[in-house]
Homo-oligomer: A and B are copies of this chain.
Amino acid sequence: MTVDVIARLRAELGDVVSFDAAALDVTRDDRSGWRSATPPIAVVHATSVEHVQATMRIATATSTPVVPRGAGTGLAGGAIGRDRAIVVDVSGMDRILEIDTSDEFAVVEPGVINDDLDRALAPHGLWFPPDPASKAISTIGGNIATNAGGLLCAKYGVTREAVLGLAVVLADGRLLRTGRRTVKGVTGYDLTALLTGSEGTLGIIVEATVRVRPVVAGATVTLAAAFPDIESAASAAAAVTASRVRPAVLELMDAASVARVAEYLGPDALAGTPLETIAPGAAFLLAQTDGAAAAAEADDVEGVLEASGARVVRSTDDASGERLLAIRRAFHGALASRGQVLIEDVAVPRSRMAAMFRAIEGIAARSGLEIPTIAHAGDGNLHPNFVFDADEVPESVWRAADELFRTARELGGTLTGEHGVGLLKQRWLADEVGDDSFELQRGIKAVFDPLGLLNPGVMFARAGEQVS
């Protein structure tokens, strides 16, 4: 069978398909720390819709699994080349097909890097709000496939809100178009929203019509605050939301995160910031306000933070604002310099953030693991991180992660706020959504993909297909 697949791929796709061991190997991991046990059988470097359609026709004819993949920057193992599968790499489909400056939408291929779209929009006074922290390296296709979040969601929405329509290659190779170019439209079920966040399990996104919006006018104000501990910082962040101000950015770092970043950046980078003299256990909060009311909103935020016992530094010029932001930006580099990193991604109602941070401290203490945690505090979205020195995520880390997920759910939250389920969290999905929802979702999957060929094992494993 595999021989037949390879022959057909070669015959129909020619140079576009690769069986080279090095090319296959590249697809075996992403940024999640996960690596597949065996390589896929082929990688199709698609540069056209027809390449993707031809691949799916061959896959269906030969019952071969297919893994859609973009830049490989995922954090949940959603696009990993593995045993017996064909990887469809769409990162070469990277053209911006249309920018409509009057109607404020863009039509893009899935491999367009998020930042590249913003660069193309800037001369028109427009931008693309979905802003995963990885936007310099991640693609819009992956962004949509995971319904990615980012730093600005509380104010500017998650990716779903920016997707007007999609073109998707179905399991059998047909091309489905969903949605429209209008702001409103309610003809039929919202397949666009269903496909957004479906992690390549229902179809392969080959084109997206995305909503863009006017650049926010005026200067941004940046506030940086040090708190004696993370719980008071988390309570202060919730108090900012409860005060009805809506900062564009509201980021939290706990004591372990602050300590790792301080070591990594060194004292010079912290001079003049609230972290210049770091008390043990200190937590850090960064807020940015934007738009016409930026200064007034920053006053309000500053008032709330100071009333909560924080030491606050305020910046209104870009350079000093950038210095404050650099503290937060250095976080991932600081951890990566110390070993392999598993980034978790729970979300809780904002008022429960302090409780979640407290629970993380307890889990860290009981497990003996350090769990540096940052949060998009405006969304209640926490990223607890595990650093380890091994090829695979150690079982002790998964046990701690399991406790994290259960705690988040008990607090009214979810096991993944923005990274997706992927291969990493499939075993927890049914626990969160419940058996009825799980069965309905599998029913929907079967409508789109009756042979179960699209990204099997991702999101929810089919019986007998659990990937470990």
> Which residues of A does B touch, CB under 8 Å?
100-105, 125-126, 146-147, 149, 153-154, 157-158, 160-161, 170, 174, 176-178, 180-191, 193-194, 196-198, 213-215, 217, 238, 241-242, 244-246, 291-293, 296, 347-351, 376, 378-381, 412-421, 425, 429, 432-434, 436-438, 440-441, 443-444, 446-448, 459-460
Say yes or no: A182 contacts B379, CB within 8 Å.
Answer: yes
Given A198-B189, A296-B292, A444-B447, residue A414 in contact with residue B102 (CB < 8 A): no
How far does the Cβ of A3 sit from chain B's closest Cβ, in whole Å?
32
Give every chain B residue within 8 A of A432 (Cβ-Cβ): 187-188
Give every chain B residue within 8 A of A198 (Cβ-Cβ): 189
Q: How far is the CA of A416 from the CA of B184 in the complex (A)?
A: 8
How far does the Cβ of A165 sit from chain B's closest Cβ, in whole Å?
10
Chain B residue at minimum C-beta to C-beta distance from A425: B187
Chain B residue at minimum C-beta to C-beta distance from A177: B434
Interface of A (DSSP majority class): loop
Given A292-B293, A429-B187, residue A180 in contact with residue B412 (CB < 8 A): yes
For A157, A242, A440, the residue with the greatest tally of chain B CB atoms inside 10 Å of its CB is: A440
Say yes or no: A188 contacts B437, CB within 8 Å.
Answer: yes
Given A102-B350, A214-B246, residue A197 in contact with residue B186 (CB < 8 A): yes
Chain B residue at minimum C-beta to C-beta distance from A148: B186
Say yes or no: A380 contacts B183, CB within 8 Å.
Answer: yes
How far does the Cβ of A251 sit from chain B's closest Cβ, in whole Å?
14
Give every chain B residue within 8 A of A181 (Cβ-Cβ): 349, 412-413
Give every chain B residue within 8 A of A244 (Cβ-Cβ): 125-126, 214-215
Give every chain B residue within 8 A of A174 (Cβ-Cβ): 436
Chain B residue at minimum C-beta to C-beta distance from A292: B293
Chain B residue at minimum C-beta to C-beta distance from A125: B244
Say yes or no: A104 contacts B441, CB within 8 Å.
Answer: no
How far does the Cβ of A129 sit from chain B's closest Cβ, in whole Å?
12
Say yes or no: A444 contacts B189, CB within 8 Å.
Answer: yes
Say yes or no: B417 contacts A186, CB within 8 Å.
Answer: yes
Give every chain B residue within 8 A of A425 (Cβ-Cβ): 187
Say yes or no: A147 contacts B429, CB within 8 Å.
Answer: no
Say yes or no: A347 contacts B182, CB within 8 Å.
Answer: yes
Say yes or no: A381 contacts B347, CB within 8 Å.
Answer: no
Q: Which 6 A-B pairs have the closest CB atoms?
A: A292-B293, A443-B447, A193-B193, A214-B244, A184-B417, A185-B414
Given A103-B350, A241-B102, A436-B176, residue A381 in contact with residue B188 (CB < 8 A): no
15 contacts between A and B (CB under 8 A): A100-B349, A100-B351, A101-B242, A147-B190, A160-B190, A180-B347, A180-B412, A182-B417, A183-B381, A184-B379, A185-B417, A188-B460, A190-B194, A443-B448, A447-B447
Give every chain B residue within 8 A of A158 (Cβ-Cβ): 184
How far does the Cβ of A297 sit from chain B's closest Cβ, in whole Å?
8
Give every chain B residue within 8 A of A178 (Cβ-Cβ): 433, 437
Give every chain B residue within 8 A of A429 (Cβ-Cβ): 187-188
Q: Of B104, B157, B444, which one neighbours A161 at CB under 8 angstroms?
A: B157
For A146, A187, A191, A437, the residue with the greatest tally of chain B CB atoms inside 10 Å of its CB is: A187
For A185, A215, A217, the residue with the greatest tally of chain B CB atoms inside 10 Å of its CB is: A185
Say yes or no: B184 contacts A149, CB within 8 Å.
Answer: yes
Chain B residue at minimum C-beta to C-beta distance from A214: B244
Q: Of B146, B180, B413, which one neighbours A413 at CB under 8 angstroms?
A: B180
Say yes or no: B183 contacts A154, CB within 8 Å.
Answer: yes
Chain B residue at minimum C-beta to C-beta distance from A433: B188
